[in-house]
Amino acid sequence: MTDITRLVELTVTWQKRPQMLRWPRWRPLKGLHWPRQRLIAVGLTLTVCWAFLALCGPWLVPHDPLQGDASLAAAPPSLAHPFGLDKYGRDVLARVVAGGRYDLFIAVVAVGLAVMAGTVIGSVSGYIGGTFDNLAMRLVDMVLAFPSFVLALVFVAVLGPTLSVLVIALSLRFIPMYARLVRAEILSEKLKEYALAARAIGCSDARLVLHHLLPNAVGPIITQSSMNLSWAILNAAGLSFLGLGVQPPTPEWGVMISEGSPYIVSGQWWMAFSRARR
C-alpha cells in the first residue's frame, strides 16, 4: 500500500514539473477553409483602411475638398494631385476621402436609429404578444413590401432633400428588419427555464427584457448591422446622385458621380489611354 501511494506521489510530481517554454503555434480556425480565411482577411483589411481614411482624411490629404483653382480645371493626375482635379479645379482625392467620411456618418447614424427603434418595437411586440404584436407585425410587413430605395426616394421627394430627411428615410427602411429580428429572439427566449425562473422570483418585466432576454439578440443585431451599413451607403449615394440627397458642393460620392457623369465620354485623360493618343 505504501508503494502504491509513493508511486502516485511520483506521478503527480512528474506531471507538475516545469515545462519547457515554447513559442505558441498558430492554428487555423476550425470550420474555416484557407481560401475563406483569406477572403475574410482581405475584406476586413479593406474595411479598416477605408474607415481609417474616412476618419483621418483631413490630416492625411493636404488639399481642401471645397477650394478649387479654375485655371487647373480637369487637370490630369500628378504628384501633387494623385487623382487629378475636377471641372472646378478641386482635388479629387480630397473629395473622395471627405465623401467617404460623409457617407460613413450617414450610414452609421441611419443604422443606429434603426437599431434603437427596431429593438424597442421588437422587444415590446415579442414580449407582450396578442393584439399589439399582430398590429405591429402587419405594419412591419407593409413597410417590407416596398423596395428599400423606392421607399427612401418617395420619402425624400415629399419632405425635401435635406441631410436629416435622408437619414430618417434610410433608417425607416431598416427598422422592420431589426423589429423582426429582435421579436424572434424574444419569442424564443422568454419561454426558457432561466426566463421563467427570473419571473418566478419577482423580476420585473423591464428587467427581464433588458438584462436577460435582449442580450441574446446582440449577436444577430451586430451581424445585421454590418450588412445594412453597406446598403445605407449605397442608397445614400444613389439618392445624392439623383439630386434628392446631399446637395453640391458638399463632397459626397453620389454628388461626385453626378457631377462627373457628363464628362465621362468627353475624351479626357480619365478615359482609355488609347483614345487620348488618337
Q: What is the pLDDT along the chain (278 residues), one digit of tens a residue?
A: 555 555 445 444 544 444 443 434 444 444 444 455 677 677 778 778 878 887 787 778 888 888 888 888 878 888 888 888 888 888 888 888 888 888 889 999 999 999 999 999 999 998 888 888 899 888 888 888 888 788 888 888 888 888 888 899 899 889 999 999 999 888 888 888 888 888 888 888 888 888 888 888 888 888 888 888 888 999 899 998 988 888 888 888 888 888 888 777 765 665 543 333 33
CATH architecture label of 108-251: Orthogonal Bundle (1.10)
- Express the helix, strand and coil content of the chain in percent, nearest 5 each: 70, 0, 30
Measured distance CA(169)–CA(115) in Å, rounded: 14
Are 170 and 232 spatial neighbours (Cβ–Cβ below 8 Å)? Answer: yes
Cα Dmax for the chain: 101
Residue 117 has a pLDDT of 93
* Extents of the domains making up the chain: 108-251
CB 168 within 8 A of CB 154: no
Name the residue with cell 426566463: 195
* Residue 109 pLDDT: 93
What's at 262, amino acid-wise? P
Q: How far apart are CA 196 and CA 211, in angstroms?
A: 14
pTM, whole model, 2 decimals?
0.76
State the Cα–Cα distance between residues 144 and 174, nearest whole angstrom.
9
Cα–Cα–Cα angle for 85, 251, 49, rounded to 5 degrees = 90
For cell 431589426, the residue is 178
